[in-house]
Amino acid sequence: MKSILLKVVALAVVLAGGCVVAGAADGGPGSVRAILVLASNQRGESDARLSAYEPTLRRILRFESYTLAGEGTASLAGAGKATVKLGRGQTLGLDAEKSDGKGVRLKVNWQDGGRSLMNTGLVLRPGVPAVLGGPAHGKGGEVWAVILVAD
C-alpha cells in the first residue's frame, strides 16, 4: 500500500512540476528589442538614441563613443524561437527557454552574413538591458555590440 501511495505522490509531483514549468514559460517577454551598436575609442558625442543605455555601455565596454547601427524586434510568446534582423548583414537567432517568471532564459546566436560571431545564453529581465560585446569592426579599433531589452 505504501508503495502505491509513494508512486501516486511521485506522479503528482512530476505532473505539478510540469504545470509550473509550462506556466513560467508562458510568462516570458512579449517581445525582445535588439540594438546593434558600434563602439569607438574616438572622442566625440554618442548617438542620442542610445542615451538611455550609454551608462551601461560605458560600464561594460569602456569605449569613448557609441553609434546606433541598426535595430530590430522579435516577438517571443513563452518558449519559442525568433530571428531579429539588425541590419548591416547581422542577425540574432533567439531561442527562449523556460522562465522563472522574473525573466526569460535566452540562447542567442549572433551572426554576420551567415558566419556565427557568438553563441551564448543569458537571462533577460524585463526592462533591464543586457549588452553583448562583439568582434572588432575595421581597423580603427571599433567594436560591435548588441543591446537586448525585453518588455
- The pLDDT score that the predictor gives to residue 91 is 97
Q: What is the pLDDT of residue 134?
A: 93
- pTM here is 0.78
Tens-digit pLDDT profile for the chain (151 aa)?
333 322 222 322 222 233 323 333 445 558 899 999 999 999 999 999 999 999 999 999 999 999 999 999 999 876 789 999 999 999 999 999 877 778 889 999 999 999 999 999 999 999 999 999 999 998 788 999 999 999 8
CA distances 136 to 39, 62, 117, Å, are: 9, 14, 11
What are the domain boundaries of the chain?
A: 2-150
**Three-state SS across the chain?**
CHHHHHHHHHHHHHHHHHHHHHHHHHCCCCEEEEEEEEEECCCCCCCHHHCCCHHHHHHHHCCCEEEEEEEEEEECCCCEEEEEEEECCEEEEEEECCCCCCCEEEEEEEEECCEEEEEEEEEECECCCEEEEEEEECCCCEEEEEEEEEC
